A and B are shown apart, each in its own frame.
Chain A
């Protein structure tokens, strides 16, 4: 069964600290992997998209990595800010039909 598992489920860090969120997937075939940020009460917003051949991709303070061999991805947030408090969702695209498989998300809370 195609699945996307994220860990941890929730995380609390202090402002200015770094953190890493994990994503494991069992989706096949694989087209690309995406990370989204979803603020409370809003729709998800795309952070990064990585294809099979890409190992890392950055978007400002967000850096995503992909290991297609082990089917693992991580999202690293550097120098966290209060505005980083949100849910971070890992999504795997299994092909070109528009069907995306979403993880449950990691809820990050950044405290001052």
Chain B
């Protein structure tokens, strides 16, 4: 099993650009989530999904879109990047309330 994979590992964007962060898992988990981690703060939930075709907003959803067309994939789209979105983004998956598995993260810088 590859577990949870994220691409790219690093990305630099200019203000106003859009991009998609990719997340995939091969564990057949129904729960998938996106978090951002900023210095001095705990991980904050952006969006989550409890199954294919079902998504919901987390704590900080503004400026981000998600979709869940398959069980395996949960991409995060930045619509118009802003410097405030400079952060490390983590994708995670789990089976119900069991152990949550995190990807290696994507380090995003918006200039």
Contact = CB atoms under 8 A, between A and B. Distances in A.
A104 interface: yes
Interface stretch (B14-22, B62-70, B96-104): B96-104
A103 B42 CA distance: 5
Contact of A42 (B35, B56, B104): B104
A100 B45 contact: yes
Interface residues of B, number: 27
Contacts of B97: 31-32, 49, 93, 96
Interface residues of A, number: 23
Given A31-B97, A98-B48, A99-B48, A89 B42 contact: yes
A4 B42 contact: yes
B41 interface: yes
Interface of B: 4, 31, 33, 35, 40-45, 48, 50, 56, 58, 90, 92, 94, 96-105
Given A42-B104, A105-B42, 16 more contacts: A32-B97, A41-B105, A43-B103, A44-B90, A46-B100, A46-B101, A89-B42, A96-B97, A97-B50, A98-B33, A98-B50, A99-B45, A100-B33, A101-B42, A102-B43, A102-B44
Interface of A: 4, 31-32, 34, 41-46, 49, 89, 93, 96-105
